[in-house]
């Protein structure tokens, strides 16, 4: 996507003067993503050279003349850069560098000595900004799946041959990225580096789509895995739930709630000791924003308090994972009904009727009942779930044997759990 206009030569139309106090405070080293020398004009010269620093929120420069010390990290000029658009260029006649565009009237071209320096800057900018030409960097391959507002494709990074997943979301007439897309990107950037969370590599935006370049996870979705291997031995269920609770505890520690825990959004790699990865943060939200927006989630996995119109917290994810546990045991979601309204009604009542368990008391049953308590106050957090004796294998009560698990398994297993993130309307019963 090419932007109109020529390079911005006046730094005052792009750079801002930071507050005097901010100009005198050195930039904390932990905020710095990358730094190096760039020029404001081409041909590059010492006169237009500045020491430019990229932080988690801003692009700034410190040296206003070549005679100043480049070790001086105090701000001289800066500009906010989160979700700015980056367009690289490489032409011997007009220069090598990249354009930073904040709006249709605020942009600047920054020039580097060679393309290698530009690539280094682009890798750093991927952590905070957007790019404009997906096809120049990635080859888009086969279709992997479809969500309510997105399509996911396999992809290959042209420069490295690395396999990725590309999530394409239509903007549908929005000016810039809709709020939900922005929130998903912000959350994935915040969680980058957390084990067991799909990693965001880069963001691209053109006039009609936003594309998220994500890590391509090994294994299969839990939904597909269960369709081939159900019923699972208890030790495999224990390993999967232990891995997922560890991931959830880490996500919750960052103040983030996933809000759509279900088998479709969980990857399991049986070849690597059932390593798990949590996918699709399209409905994720910060804890402090939980009172905003409509009810959302997948019928059968939504915490009852959310369907009752109450404000939830991180324990709504625990409930969803508990329902995943029941699904692994039973072969289908216990609330599942042929009619969506009936499924939502059972879900709102929230009590799993485990009469098919024949009254047998086992540590696994106790564990899942605690996770799916209809009362969020008595429901444990993910960190508290990790302390349950069933996960440690230190139970004095006998565990489930293979015959019991086979009997618990439904003869008509149903792993069709495709989610709907329109607000679930829960019917009343007379």
Residue that has been written with the tokens 């500045």 in this structure: 50
Q: Which residues contact 392 (CB under 8 A, 6 or more apart)?
A: none
Separation between Cα atoms, residue 422 and residue 430, nearest integer Å: 25
Strand 209-215 and strand 220-221: the pairing is: unpaired
3-state SS, residue 43: coil
Question: Helix, strand, coil proportions of the chain in percent (round to 5)?
Answer: 30, 25, 45
For residue 316, what is the enclosing H or E element? helix 315-330
Strand 150-157 and strand 138-146: the pairing is: antiparallel
Separation between Cα atoms, residue 213 and residue 197, nearest integer Å: 14
Tell me if residue 269 is catalytic. Answer: no
Separation between Cα atoms, residue 138 and residue 202, nearest integer Å: 11
* Of the candidates 325, 331, 362, 189, the residue with the CA atom closest to the CA atom of residue 244: 325
| Residue 110 CA to its chain's centroid (Å) | 30
Choosing from 260, 264, 317, 421, the catalytic residue is: 260
Long-range contacts of 240-243 (CB under 8 A, 24+ apart): 240/268, 240/274, 240/276, 240/328, 241/321, 241/324, 241/325, 241/391, 242/386, 242/391, 243/196, 243/274, 243/275, 243/276
- Phi, psi dihedral angles at 135 (to 5 degrees): -65, -20
Separation between Cα atoms, residue 407 and residue 323, nearest integer Å: 19
The residues carrying an active-site annotation are 260
């Amino acid at each position: 996507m090419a932007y109109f206009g020529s390079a911005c030569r006046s730094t005052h139309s792009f750079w801002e003067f930071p507050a005097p106090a901010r100009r005198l405070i050195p930039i904390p080293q932990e905020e710095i993503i990358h730094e190096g020398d760039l020029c404001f004009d081409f041909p590059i010269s010492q006169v237009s050279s500045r020491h430019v620093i990229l932080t988690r929120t801003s692009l700034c420069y410190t040296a206003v003349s070549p005679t100043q010390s480049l070790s001086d990290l105090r701000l001289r000029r800066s500009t906010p850069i989160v979700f700015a658009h980056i367009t690289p260029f490489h032409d011997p006649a007009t220069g090598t560098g990249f354009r930073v565009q904040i709006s249709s009237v605020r942009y600047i071209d920054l020039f580097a000595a060679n393309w290698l320096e530009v690539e280094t800057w682009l890798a750093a900018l991927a952590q905070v900004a957007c790019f404009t030409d997906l096809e120049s960097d990635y080859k888009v391959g086969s279709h992997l799946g479809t969500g309510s507002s997105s399509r996911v494709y396999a992809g290959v990074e042209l420069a490295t041959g690395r396999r990725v997943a590309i999530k394409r979301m239509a903007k549908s007439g929005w000016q810039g990225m809709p709020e939900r897309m922005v929130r998903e990107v912000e959350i994935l950037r915040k969680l980058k580096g957390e084990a067991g969370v799909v990693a965001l590599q880069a963001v691209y935006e053109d006039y009609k789509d936003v594309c998220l370049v994500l890590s391509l996870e090994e294994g299969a979705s839990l939904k597909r895995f269960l369709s081939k291997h159900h019923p699972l031995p208890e030790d495999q269920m224990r390993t999967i739930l232990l891995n997922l609770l560890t991931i959830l505890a880490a996500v919750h520690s960052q103040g983030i709630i996933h809000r759509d825990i279900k088998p479709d959004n969980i990857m399991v790699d049986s070849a690597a000791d059932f390593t798990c990865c949590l996918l699709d943060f399209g409905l994720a939200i910060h804890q402090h924003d939980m009172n905003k927006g409509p009810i959302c989630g997948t019928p059968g996995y939504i915490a009852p308090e959310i369907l009752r119109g109450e404000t939830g917290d991180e324990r709504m994810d625990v409930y969803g994972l508990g329902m995943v546990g029941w699904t692994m045991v039973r072969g289908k979601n216990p609330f599942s009904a042929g009619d969506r309204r009936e499924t939502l009604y059972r879900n709102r009542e929230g009590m799993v009727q485990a009469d098919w368990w024949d009254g047998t008391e086992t540590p696994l049953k106790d564990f899942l009942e605690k996770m799916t308590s209809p009362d969020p106050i008595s429901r444990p957090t993910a960190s508290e779930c990790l302390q349950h004796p069933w996960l440690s294998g230190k139970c004095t009560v006998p565990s489930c044997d293979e015959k019991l698990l086979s009997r618990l398994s439904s003869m008509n297993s149903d792993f069709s759990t495709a989610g709907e993130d329109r607000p679930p309307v829960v019917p009343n019963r007379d």
